[in-house]
Amino acid sequence: MICAIVVAAGSGTRFGGRKQFIEVAGRSVVAWSIAACRSVASQVVVVVPADITPEDLPADLQADVVVVGGATRADSVRAGLASIHPHATCIIVHDAARPVAGAALFHAVTEAIAQGAAAAICATPVTDTVKVVAQRDGRSIVVDTLDRSSLVAVQTPQAFAPDVLRAAHASGGDATDDAGLVEALGETVVVVPGAPTNVKITDASDLDLIRASLS
Ligand code: CTP
Ligand code: MG
């Protein structure tokens, strides 16, 4: 049984509001993300902000379970994990703020788990040159240039063997993605090709691209 956690409990500080609940191309962003999960998942748990009343949630948010999230993304994933079906054989974690993620990505990460991987993430090659910078005397200066050929930009969906995801979160630790916590356990994380269109809504400038993809 494939289950999914859609994390939608953020406050959208950079966007200037709860981007996961706005309407884009006739549906709320979170509803697009839930629909994408349903391409493979038979249970979808949606994690929403603690300070929102049920009437303020989008009317098209159709989840199997709705739970309240926490202060950090990892806290919100842990809240969702507590409501995952005990017979789950694979758990997907997906950002509500990535409404364009297609069924192919969900199939790819869950197939990796079915083949025995502990964790699988989708990612795209980094095309810009990436440098490490530091602050010196009030200026930003370059201290290193990374080898781009070994770098990828990580997306969601990410899929996990249930025991691995539970163990990764048992520490109560924080990371910007769940795979980071799994890596800390020493488990192998498999990378499958992501999609360039699968952008996360971070600030308002991301909306045009998202709208074009969903329309
Ligand atoms: N998220 C969450 N609980 C949190 C923080 C984030 O469920 N405490 C979710 C967001 O709703 C989003 C995803 O994690 O779907 C990715 O997070 P991000 O893009 O950083 O969204 P926000 O944290 O809402 O935005 P910001 O960092 O600008 O405040
Ligand atoms: Mg955030």
Q: How confident is the model at residue 76 (pLDDT cuts 50, 70, 90)?
A: very high
> pLDDT digits over 83-101, tens only?
999 999 999 999 999 999 9
- pLDDT higher than threshold 90 for residue 67: yes
pLDDT tens per residue, range 119-150:
999 999 999 999 999 999 999 999 999 999 99
Ligand 1 pocket test, candidate residues 5, 6, 7, most atoms within 8 A of CB: 7
Q: Is 13 in the pocket of ligand 1 (CB under 6 A)?
A: yes
What's the pLDDT at 37?
98
**Residue 116: what pLDDT?**
97
What value does the mean pLDDT of the chain take?
96
CA-nearest residue for atom 16, ligand 1, is: 95
Q: Whose CA is nearest to atom 7 of ligand 1?
A: 9
- For the chain, give every domain's residue range: 2-123+152-214
Q: How far apart are CA 32 and CA 18, in angstroms?
A: 15
Which of 37, 45, 67, 95 most suits a substitution to test ligand 1, by most atoms within 8 Å of the C-beta?
A: 95
pLDDT in tens, 33-44: 999 999 999 999
Task: Give the CA distances from residue 18 to residues 35, 47, 81, 83, 183, in Å, rounded to whole numbers and listed in that order.
Answer: 19, 13, 22, 23, 30
pLDDT of residue 171: 84
In angstroms and rounded to an integer, the radius of gyration of the C-alpha atoms of the chain is 17
Residue nearest to ligand 1 atom 13, measured at CA: 95
Contact status, residue 129 vs residue 147, Cβ threshold 8 Å:
no
Report CA 143 to chain centroid distance, whole Å: 30
Fold adopted by 2-123+152-214? Spore Coat Polysaccharide Biosynthesis Protein SpsA; Chain A (3.90.550)
pLDDT at residue 173 in the model: 84
Nearest CA to ligand 1 atom 1: 10
How many C-beta neighbours within 10 Å does residue 16 have? 9
pTM of the model: 0.96
Q: Is the CB of 170 under 6 A from ligand 1?
A: no
Q: List pLDDT tens digits, range 144-187.
A: 999 999 999 999 999 999 999 999 999 888 888 999 999 999 99
Residue 105 has pLDDT above 90, yes or no: yes
CA distances from 21 to 12, 24, 32, 101, 205 (A): 10, 9, 10, 16, 17
10 CA distance to ligand 2 middle (Å): 6
CA angle 69, 73, 76 (to 5 degrees): 25
Q: Calculate what percentage of the chain has a pLDDT beyond 70.
A: 100
CA 38, 40, 45, 47 dihedral sign is negative
Note the pLDDT of residue 81: 98
Is residue 69 within 6 Å of ligand 1 at its C-beta? yes
